[in-house]
Amino acid sequence: MSTAARKKSLIWDYLTTVDHKKIAILYLIAGGLFFLIGGLEALLMRIQLMKPNNDFLNGDLFNQVMTMHGTTMIFFAATPLLFALMNAVVPLQIGARDVAFPFLNALGFWLFFFGGVFLNCSWFLGGAPDAGWTSYASLSLESPGHGIDFYLLGLQISGFGTLISGINFLVTIVTMRAPGMTFMRMPMFTWTTFVASALILFAFPPLTVGLLLLMLDRLFGANFFDPALGGNTIIYEHLFWIFGHPEVYILVLPAFGIFSEVIATFSRKRLFGYSSMVFAVVLIGFLGFMVWAHHMFTVGLGPVANAIFAVATMTIAVPTGIKIFNWLFTMWGGNIRFTTPMLYAVSFIPSFVMGGVTGVMLASAPADYQYHDTYFVVAHFHYVIVGGVVFALLAGTHYWWPKMFGKMLNEALGKITFVLFFVGFHLTFFIQHFLGLMGMPRRVFTFLPNQGLDTGNLVSTIGAFFMTAGVIILLINVVISSISGKKAEADAWGVGRTLEWAVSSPAPEYNFAQIPLVRGLDAYWLEKMEGKKGLTPAEPLGDIHMPNPSVLPFVISLGLFVSAFGFLYHNDYSWGLPVAILGLVITFGSMFLRSIIDDYGFHIHKDEIIEAEKKGVKA
């Protein structure tokens, strides 16, 4: 754009990009791909469980598919898809030209990507991990082959990426806000991104340690979890859930943020109770760290510990309830437009409340002894994660698609996707509450006929096909939009409230020609209500400083990917250790290069900006 020299091939451009908007697209593509893989695995499981004594998948394969479904969906689909939306939207919402650390932003993406690829390599190299997404130590230590090792190393690599991205968003939101964008004027999606990033910062280290200890036990002869030598497997469970429970909020808080944006936008009303929404998000984030042992009620921690964690867990229902009512009051009396994103938002509320109610049921420690490890739990967390997070991702994708790609998605197809997905979701998971109450344990690969489980499982499987159909229509929608989609305006929905709708769709490389002056909550809406076309600038038009692209994030991540193979096989083959060292040399060598090569970035000149802005106005 700026000079002829920067006209590189598309692939090289994306391999070296540090632009948050392009990284968002990378996250969307990679996360979407893993979402399809995870969805396929879910479908395979439902086919196996369609009828009693089915032999579509054998028990071994079922365990692998089940483990990979959970792991892929949490770590490699939901998290990166949220990062896609955060990257696309948050810098624009706070009136910034970029994130605080563009280089680390790219590094975060490539680490996640190589971690996910590494994990999925297990399918072709002797079998996937098979100890569930939690990979409890007692079970995973006994798992033969290298599946679990793929899980450990893959998650470790992608975990670093997630941590880096979390820190990046925290600093971005603290330092990069436009003049006038105080904390209490930040859009809810930015607020939830901030709190979720803080949770990432504190929740991922325990996971890192848990995975590290398990890896040391499996590959390097340590005894953390071997009772014969004094080890204790409960340590792993604690570490996993100290991470695992905040992880739920890492996923669901940004989902809340997306719905807050969508509901306010399409109700044409300011979000009801904005400050109580902020308060609720922070409180949920805080309480989220004090409840992890409710996943371990049946471990035998003792009645005192169980009681404390039960009460703490139920407390979270209070801030969540605040949010639910605020959404309802936002819609009340609003001028509601049922676009595709709004349909997801409206249906999210009852769906998520059902997940919340079963959550409070599960939080009662004595009752949990009945529910534990049954399909009731499966139904509960799918109501929360699909009804909350996946609905939000679908809503957010439809809502911000024009801002990311400059073209509208087809509304009719969007609504068909919604209906299929919504019906399929409830068909699949509602019945699972009852399957669980009737005693069907989770994670089993088959069941016997005539125990009252046949019809329920069949219904559930039919629901899964509905969801699959919905996703296929979404993919068709994407293809049609990219070929012949309507070009999106800057304010694509016509009722945008926040700053991202003030810049062209897609946003120019430098986001804002002039950093805006923010004069209140819903900054763009305020300007529109005063009859202004654009934002009030906070600075004169001038040269804009931009970060240089770099291939080093890719190489650093590639090094860890290579090194992980070396460590995985170092007990089996003599080439293992040299390969591991080679990979680390690549990684640390690239970090060294990054440290010693000065990178001052470059400038886009004022004339080019004026020209680009003119073009943007014309189009």
Contact pick of 3, 182, 223, 298 for other proteins (by CB under 8 A): 223
- State the Cα–Cα distance between residues 508 and 16, nearest whole angstrom: 18
Beta-bridge mates of residue 178: none
Task: Name the residue nearer to other proteins (CB basis): 124 or 600.
Answer: 600
202 lines the binding site for other proteins (CB under 8 A): yes
490 lines the binding site for other proteins (CB under 8 A): no
Measured at the alpha carbon of residue 532, what is the angle toward residues 527 and 535, in degrees to the nearest 5? 55
Task: Give the alpha-carbon dihedral of 18, 23, 24, 29, to 10 degrees.
Answer: 170
Task: Name the residue nearer to other proteins (CB basis): 266 or 292.
Answer: 292
- State the Cα–Cα distance between residues 463 and 599, nearest whole angstrom: 53
187 lines the binding site for other proteins (CB under 8 A): no
228 lines the binding site for other proteins (CB under 8 A): yes
Region from 117-125, 214-222, 319-327, 460-468 binding other proteins, contact rule CB under 8 A: 214-222
91 lines the binding site for other proteins (CB under 8 A): no
The distance of closest approach from Cβ of residue 216 to other proteins in the complex, given in angstroms and rounded to an integer, is: 6
Contact pick of 56, 136, 289, 329 for other proteins (by CB under 8 A): 289
DSSP 458-527: HHHHHHHHHHHHHHHHHHHHHHHHHHHPPBPPSSTTS---SGGGGS-SSPPTTS-SSPBPP-SSSHHHHH
DSSP 106-145: HHHHHHHHHHHHHHHHGGGTT----STTTT-HHHHHH--S
What lies within 8 Å, CB to CB, of 116 at 6+ separation is 30, 34, 72, 75, 76, 154, 158
The distance of closest approach from Cβ of residue 200 to other proteins in the complex, given in angstroms and rounded to an integer, is: 9
**How far from each other are the two terminal CA atoms of the chain, in whole angstroms?**
17
Contact pick of 198, 255, 280, 490 for other proteins (by CB under 8 A): 198
95 lines the binding site for other proteins (CB under 8 A): no
Task: Name the residue nearer to other proteins (CB basis): 160 or 405.
Answer: 160
Contact pick of 121, 139, 201, 438 for other proteins (by CB under 8 A): 201
Nearest of 206, 335, 323 to residue 276 by alpha carbon: 323
226 lines the binding site for other proteins (CB under 8 A): yes
How many residues contact other proteins, by CB under 8 A?
A: 52
What long-range pairs does 134-139 form, CB within 8 A, spacing at least 24? 134/237, 134/240, 134/244, 135/67, 135/214, 135/240, 136/233, 136/236, 136/237, 136/240, 137/214, 137/217, 137/224, 137/225, 137/233, 137/235, 137/236, 137/237, 138/225, 138/233
305 lines the binding site for other proteins (CB under 8 A): yes
Provide the 10 A C-beta neighbour count for residue 290.
15
Contact pick of 44, 92, 153, 170 for other proteins (by CB under 8 A): 170
328 lines the binding site for other proteins (CB under 8 A): no
The distance of closest approach from Cβ of residue 286 to other proteins in the complex, given in angstroms and rounded to an integer, is: 9
The distance of closest approach from Cβ of residue 534 to other proteins in the complex, given in angstroms and rounded to an integer, is: 25
224 lines the binding site for other proteins (CB under 8 A): yes
Task: Name the residue nearer to other proteins (CB basis): 300 or 333.
Answer: 300
- State the Cα–Cα distance between residues 200 and 302, nearest whole angstrom: 29
Contact pick of 43, 47, 209, 480 for other proteins (by CB under 8 A): 209
Residue window 120-159: x/- pattern of binding to other proteins, with contact defined by CB under 8 A: ----------------------------------------
Which residues bind to other proteins, rule: CB under 8 A?
100-101, 104, 163, 167-168, 170-171, 174-175, 198, 201-202, 204-206, 208-210, 212-213, 216-217, 220-224, 226, 228-232, 234-235, 238-239, 242, 289-290, 293, 299-302, 305, 592, 595-596, 598, 600
